[in-house]
Amino acid sequence: VQLQASGGGSVQPGGSLRLSCAVLKFNVDDYTIAWFRQAPGKGRERVSCDTLVGGGSTYYADSVKGRFTLSRDNARHTVDLQMNDLKPEDTAVYSCAAVPRYYHCSEFSADRATWGRGTLVTVSS
């Protein structure tokens, strides 16, 4: 599988952006998909993860809960991350990653995942 992230940019605090992770050559539902971010000088943080195991669940980091929404678009072969009420601390390079669909988010291994190239999100006034 190949992944391609897009949609980053610059936005003022309180603004919104929508990131897309295109899943190339395979079906979106063949994978458990996660969005990660890495801010300058900080470690990688998992922002959200969506699994179809056990009927399906979506998980969010506490730092983004209530502001970010992950959704699958099978028609477009994308997994999108809608980001609202953005804050300066959301500034980071955002990347999507995938593991086979039989892995739950609790079993998601970044080392075994396929990664797409990141997209930069800058939140600044």
pLDDT in tens, 80-99: 999 999 999 999 999 999 99
Report the distance separating Cα 49 and Cα 109, nearest Å. Answer: 12
pLDDT score recorded for residue 113? 96
Average confidence score pLDDT of the chain: 95
pLDDT score recorded for residue 26? 86
- Per-residue tokens: 46: 């998992």
Confidence of residue 1 (pLDDT cuts 50, 70, 90): confident
pLDDT score recorded for residue 99? 96
| Three-class secondary structure of residue 19 per DSSP | strand
- Per-residue tokens: 48: 């959200």
Report the distance separating Cα 51 and Cα 74, nearest Å. Answer: 14
* Residue 25: pLDDT over 90: no
pLDDT score recorded for residue 40? 92
Q: CA nearest 119: which of 100, 98, 91?
A: 91
pLDDT score recorded for residue 117? 92
Output the CA angle 52-53-59, nearest 5 degrees: 65
